[in-house]
Amino acid sequence: MSFVSEFNSLQLDALAKRSLNASGMDARTSLGRTTLSLADFAHLISPVAAELLEALGRRSQQLTRQRFGKVIRLFAPLYLSNECINNCKYCGFSRDNPILRVTLSVEEVLREARALMEQGFRNVLLVSGEHPKFVSTGYLAECVRALHEEVPSISLEVGPMETEDYRPIVEAGADGLVVYQETYDRAVYAEMHTAGPKRNFDWRMETAERGYAAGFRRLGIGALFGLGDWRLEALGVAAHADYLEHFGESDLPTDI
């Protein structure tokens, strides 16, 4: 069982409709609950909830303080490579675009990270296109190993990989993995991703679970808002986050 099975049984359209038709009372009742369901979340992003913006802000602030204290975590992206084997309609790195392709050497990565550290950044997000030849497990592990002594927190936003391929990168010192689903609408996803392995919606959706299995301590998910209906995307992200929050060793499928 992975989030894919749960996602397939989710009635996102019905939840989006519920959100659009929610009453002021629905929104207020949901806001008053200690534990919120996906239906409550739908009420809180309803048009009528606009009137509760101040109260929503206060609840959000209270939860944020409770979990993180008065801390703002800033990170800086460090682009490793614009090589990519996918075509995504919204991205200039798409494989069919005739642009100059560059992959930084490990020394160049270290130099860039030091420049970011000099500006005060302590969290670095290594970003790249998806290209197993140029951005391989070995290359990523080498970059992380080189940065690990100097950079306190290293995360990755690279093409989805197998659990076994993530392990050496975690062992080298990476602690976070970020993978946006881009859109939780299968039809929009198919329209936007026209070539390459990224066309596989389910494989991408299971990436956070493979990352967890490999030992990443922090997982980041999200949608590229603007591709599909924002309300549906928000519901998809909320459902995914809720699933991962309750995820544990016993949920790991044997083939992940």
Summarize as ranges the residues that interact with ligand SF4 (CB under 6 A).
84, 86, 88, 91, 93-94, 129-130, 198
CB of 87 to ligand SF4, least distance (A): 6
Q: Which is nearer to ligand SF4, 166 or 243 (CB)?
A: 166
Find the shortest distance in angstroms from Cβ 86 to ligand SF4.
4
Q: How far is the CB of 33 from ligand SF4 (least distance, A)?
A: 37
Residue with tokens 């682009």: 79
DSSP string, 68-95: H-S-----EEEEEE---S-EETT-TT-T
Q: How many angstroms separate the first and last alpha carbons of the chain?
A: 10
Strands 123-128, 76-81: pairing is parallel
Taking the least distance from each CB to ligand SF4, the nearer of 80 and 172 is 80
**How far apart are the C-alpha atoms of 127 and 75, rounded to whole Å?**
12
Q: Closer to ligand SF4 by CB, 22 or 88: give it.
A: 88
> Which residue, 58 or 89, has its beta carbon nearer to ligand SF4?
89
What's the burial of 138, exposed, middle or buried (CB within 10 Å: 0-12/13-18/19+)? exposed
User: Taking the complex as a whole, how short is the minimal distance between the CB of residue 191 and ligand SF4, in angstroms?
Assistant: 14
